[in-house]
Every structure is written in C-alpha cells, then in structure tokens.
C-alpha cells in the first residue's frame, strides 16, 4: 500500500515538472497570425491535463489507502511478492554503483574513447553484478567488444568516439587504423 509521504512526494515531483514547464512556455508565447492558439497553446493544455490527472491520482491514492485502513483496521506495509534480503551498507553501495558506473562510462566516453574504455566497463559491470570467473570476464568482454566493433564500425561505419584526452586519442586512432 502506498504511504502518505510517497503520495505527497510523487505529487510534489509532478508539481515541479509542470510548474517549470509552464513557466518556460512564456518564452514562446508570441501570438501567431496564422494560428490563434499560438505555439504555447498545445503544451499548456497538456500541462494542465497532467496537473488535473495528478490531482485525481493523489486523491485516488489517498482514498484507497484510507479505505484499506478503515476496513482492515491496520496499516499494511507494501510487501514485495518475492522475499528480499535486508540491505546492508555494502548492498546500498552496490545498488548505487549499478547507476553510477554507467554514468561514469558516459562521462568518460568522449574523453577516453570507446575502444579503450568499453572493455573495462564491460568487465567492471559484470564484476559489480557478481561475476568472478576470470575466463568469463575476459572472454565475454572480448566477445561483446569484437562483435560491437564488427557490426557497428566495420559493417555500419558508425564513427564511435575516439576520445580527446592526450594519449587516449592517439591510442584509439591507432586501434582504428589497425582494424581498418
């Protein structure tokens, strides 16, 4: 069951999104000769509709929570249908790392280049998810990397990033010239 604070948080997030979007519509709110409603008309109707449905959703969730409280006589915690282990600090770190590692990959990609960075990312993410066998780590990394290069670089001529940090650009370019 959804808690009261979750409902308020969700509603608040939507309020911020719609508020910011509505404020931005004033930047293109110029009248148009050929169209009465202007460029801001359509987005504003959408924003107003989102606000309308968010309010209904909040009221609906509150009413549902309240109904269950009254009829069941207790507040039920939201229960997953699968058992889960209690989270320790390490589990929290690994949970955040599942998002942070791809983020770091994206930040470094234009700087270090695809050909150097990607093998480390593949191996690192597998290790993060629990893979420890060296054969799998190296083998899978090579397989994914080679297939990606074959399909996207050789077959589709996609110009993957070669990096702009000193040293990395040269190494990536050397690798490209070798495979071409």
What residues make contact with another protein under the rule CB under 8 A?
Answer: 10, 14, 21, 24-25, 28, 30, 32, 34-40, 42-43, 46-47, 49-50, 53-54, 56-57, 60, 63-64, 67-68, 71-72, 80, 82-85, 87, 91, 94-95, 98-99, 102-103, 105-106, 109-110, 114, 118, 121-122, 125-126, 128-131, 136, 140, 144, 148, 151-152, 156, 158-161
Nearest distance from residue 172's CB to another protein, in Å?
15
Helix (H) or strand (E) holding 85: none
Distance CA 48, CA 45 (A): 5
Specify whether the CB–CB gap between 122 and 73 falls below 8 A: no
CA 98 to chain centre: 11
Nearest distance from residue 160's CB to another protein, in Å?
7
Which CB sits closer to another protein, 75 or 103?
103
Which CB sits closer to another protein, 8 or 98?
98
Distance CA 143, CA 157 (A): 19
Nearest distance from residue 130's CB to another protein, in Å?
5
Structure tokens at 59: 């009221």
Nearest distance from residue 166's CB to another protein, in Å?
20
Which CB sits closer to another protein, 16 or 32?
32
Structure tokens at 173: 């370019």
Buried b / exposed e over 116-140, threshold 16 CB at 10 Å, is bbbeebbbbbbeeeeeeeeeebeee
Which CB sits closer to another protein, 98 or 174?
98
Coil, strand, or helix at residue 130? coil
Nearest distance from residue 165's CB to another protein, in Å?
15
Which CB sits closer to another protein, 45 or 174?
45
Q: What angle do CA 79, 84, 90 make, to 5 degrees?
A: 130
């Amino acid at each position: 069951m959804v808690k009261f604070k979750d409902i308020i948080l969700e509603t608040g997030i939507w309020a911020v999104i719609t508020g910011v979007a509505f404020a931005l519509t004033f930047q293109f709110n110029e009248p148009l000769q050929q169209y009465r409603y202007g460029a801001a008309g359509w987005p504003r109707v959408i924003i107003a509709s989102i606000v309308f449905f968010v309010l209904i959703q909040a009221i609906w969730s509150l009413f549902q929570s309240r109904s269950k409280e009254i009829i069941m006589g207790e507040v039920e915690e939201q229960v997953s249908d699968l058992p889960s282990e209690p989270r320790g600090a390490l589990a929290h770190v690994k949970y955040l790392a599942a998002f942070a590692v791809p983020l770091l990959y994206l930040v470094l990609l234009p700087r270090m280049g695809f050909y150097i960075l990607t093998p480390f990312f593949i191996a690192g993410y597998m290790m993060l998810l629990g893979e420890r066998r060296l054969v799998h780590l190296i083998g899978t990394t090579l397989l994914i990397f080679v297939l990606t290069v074959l399909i996207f670089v050789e077959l589709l001529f996609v110009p993957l990033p070669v990096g702009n940090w000193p040293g990395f650009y040269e190494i990536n370019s050397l690798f490209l010239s070798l495979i071409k």
